Amino acid sequence: MPRGKGKLERWERNKSLGCVHEPDLRAVAEGDAYMRGAWAREVFGSDAPITLELGCGQGLFTVDLATRRPDASFVGIDVKGHRFWRGAAAADRAGLPNAAFLRARVQWLDRFFAPGEVRDVWLTFTDPQVNDKRGTKRLTSPYYLRLYQQILGIGGRVLVKTDSPEFYERTLEDGPAAGLELVDACADVPGAEIGRFDAETTRALSFITAYEERWLREGRRVRYVELRKTCDVPAELAEEARRM
Catalytic residue among 47, 120, 127, 184: 127
- Determine the length of the chain: 244
What is the secondary structure of 63-113 as a DSSP string? HHHHHH-TTSEEEEEES-HHHHHHHHHHHHHHT-TTEEEEE--GGGGGGTS
Amino acid identity at 209: T
Question: Collapsing DSSP states into helix, strand and coil, what is residue 206?
Answer: coil
* Cα separation, 159 vs 111, whole angstroms: 21
Q: Nearest-CA neighbor of 180 among 209, 157, 197?
A: 157
| Residue 127 is among the residues annotated as catalytic for this protein | yes
Residue 80 neighbours by CB distance under 10 Å: 14
Q: Which residues are catalytic?
A: 127
